[in-house]
Amino acid sequence: MTLRNLVAFSVISLGLIGLNLLGSVLSSSYPSSIWAYVGFFCFAGFCAALAKMRPASFILLSPLLFLRLTEMFAGIPIESGAYIPELGVHGEPTGAFVRLSALYIFIFWITSSVIESNWRRVSDAYRQVPEIIGQIKGVRIFYVVIIAMLSYAFLLGVREGFPMFTGSDRFAFRRVLDDRIFVTFINNRQILAFILGVLLLDSARRKFTFYLILSLYVISILFAEKFTSLAMMTLLILIPTALLYVARHGEVSLKKTFFVLGFISVLTMPLVLIVYGFQENSAMAFERLFSRMAAQGEFWWSADLRYGEFFHLDTSPLMADMRTWLNPSLQNHRTIGAEFGLYYVMQHHAVAENVYYAEHRGIGYVFTLFAYIMMTTGGLGLILITPLLHLIYALVMIWAVRAIIDLSILRIVLSMKLFVFILSGGFVVGYLWNFFGIKTIALALSIIGLKVLHDMRRRSKERRPSANRLVISRALPEGSHLKTPSNQAI
C-alpha cells in the first residue's frame, strides 16, 4: 500500500466517522429514520472503499463485514417504527445506528491496517500456492472424513425426516435428536467449507472438490439452514481463491463481488421463505422474514436507548464472566443462565416469555455482544474492547493464510476452529470466553507451536545442502576440485 493510498483511505474513514457522529448529534434534536439510512450507506461506502483500497483486508474481513451489513440494514426498519416481537415494543428513531456505524468504521479501519501490514509480507508466497498445493498432506484423510460425515447426515435425515420438508425448527430438531456426530458436523461446516475452498486451488482436485461443496450445500439446505449460515459457507469457500486473485492482480473484482452477493441472495432467500411456510401462507412467510431481518440489530438499538452512557461500569456480570474463562466446564450458556452474556442481555431487554422459552430450549437471539459490552462498560468500554476483539479475529485469519502457504492442513483446521469460536460463539452469540477462554488460548498456542516447528524444519533443510558441500570440500586434496560438465574432457 502506497503512502498516497494510506492517506486517502484514512481520510475517507475519518470523514465517514465524522459524518456519522454529526448525524448522532443531530438525531437528538431531529429524530428521524433518515439517520439509520445514513449509518447504513456510510458503512456500505466504507466497505466499498475497503474493497478498492485494501482488497486483502476486505476478503479476510468479509464474514464479519457481511454480518455487520445485515445488522446495519436492520436499523432501517427498527428506526422506521417496525414492531419488534422479541422485545415487545415498536422501534423508534434514536440515532443508534449512526453511532454503531461510526464505531464499526473505526474498528475495521484499525483492523484492516494490521491485516495489510501482514499481507504485504506473505502475498508473494501466496501467489505460488497453486503450484505447490498438490503437495499438501492429509487430503485423503480429509476427503474420507467429509464424505463419511455427509453420508451420515444424509442417512440420518432419511430416517428422521429432513426439517426442510417436515417444517420443524432446525434447533428443535437437533435438541430432540441429540446426536453428537450430527451436531459436530453441523457446527463445524464452516471449517469444512474453508478447507474445500483451499483445495479448489488445486486444479487436479478441483472437480471432485466441487462435487463435495455441492453436497455440503444440499445437506445444509435439507436441514433447513438459512440465509446467514449459507452465506457464511459461501464466503469461506471463496476466500482462498479471492485472495489468490488479490495476490496476482492487487485488487478485488467488484463485478465478481456483486455477482457473489447476488448469487447468495438468489440461492438463499427463496429457501428461507420456503422454510417459513411460503407455500401455505406467503404473507406470513414474508412477515417472518422481515421480522428476522430486524432482529439482527434489535439488542444494539435497545441497549443504546437504555444504557447509552459513555462512562458506565457494572462489575458483577464481568467478574462472573471472567471466572469462566479458565474453567471449560463452566463455559455452557445453559448452566450459567442470566449471570452474564447472552441471557443477561435477553433478560434486560426481551419479553419475559421469550426469555423463558429460549432458556428452556437452550437457544437465544443473535448479536448480543455489543449490547453486553455497552451494558457493562459503557461507551468507553466499547471503544477500548471491541477493536481488541476484532484484532483477535484478524490474527486468526492471518494464521489461516500462513497455514495455507505452509501447506499445513492441521494448522488450517485449528485456525478455522478458532474462527468458529470467535465468530459464532463470540461475535454472534456473545460470550467473551470464546476470545479469552482457556480453550481458545490452548488452540492459539498449538497453532504457534506447530508454526515454530515448521519453521525450524525448513531452516534445517536449508542448512543441510551447505553443510554437505562443506564436508565434501574438506575431504578433497588441497587444490583439487570435483569434475563438472563444464570441466570434463570432451
Specify the higher pLDDT residue, 73 or 286.
73
- Residue 477 pLDDT > 60: no
Closest Cα to residue 39, out of 55, 27, 29, 51?
A: 27
pLDDT at position 441 is 96
pLDDT at position 275 is 62
pLDDT at position 484 is 42
Question: 397 with 329: CB under 8 angstroms?
Answer: no
Please give the Cα distance from 375 to 395 (Å, whole number): 27
| pLDDT per residue as tens digits for the range 353-394 | 878 777 777 777 889 999 999 999 999 999 999 999 999 999
Please give the Cα distance from 490 to 482 (Å, whole number): 16
Closest Cα to residue 365, out of 305, 443, 415, 291?
A: 291
Give residue for cell 471463496: 238
Closest Cα to residue 355, out of 365, 363, 347, 345?
A: 347
- Residue 157 pLDDT > 60: yes
Beta-bridge partner residues of 83? 90
Q: Where are the chain's structural domains? A: 3-457
pLDDT at position 5 is 85
- Residue 65 pLDDT > 80: yes
Q: What is the mean pLDDT of the chain?
A: 87
pLDDT at position 252 is 82
Question: 331 with 437: CB under 8 angstroms?
Answer: yes
Span 83-92, average pLDDT? 89
Span 467-482, average pLDDT? 51
- Residue 294 pLDDT > 80: no
| pLDDT per residue as tens digits for the range 239-281 | 999 999 999 998 887 677 767 767 666 666 666 666 666 667 6
pLDDT at position 420 is 94
- Residue 486 pLDDT > 60: no
pLDDT band at 469 (very low <50, low <70, confident <90, very high): low
Q: How many residues make up the chain in this entry?
A: 490
Which stretch, 33-37, 251-255, 467-471, has highest mean pLDDT?
A: 33-37
pLDDT at position 174 is 83
Q: Three-class SS of residue 218? A: helix
| pLDDT per residue as tens digits for the range 387-435 | 999 999 999 999 999 999 999 999 999 999 999 999 999 999 899 999 9
- Which strand (E) or helix (H) includes residue 12? helix 3-29
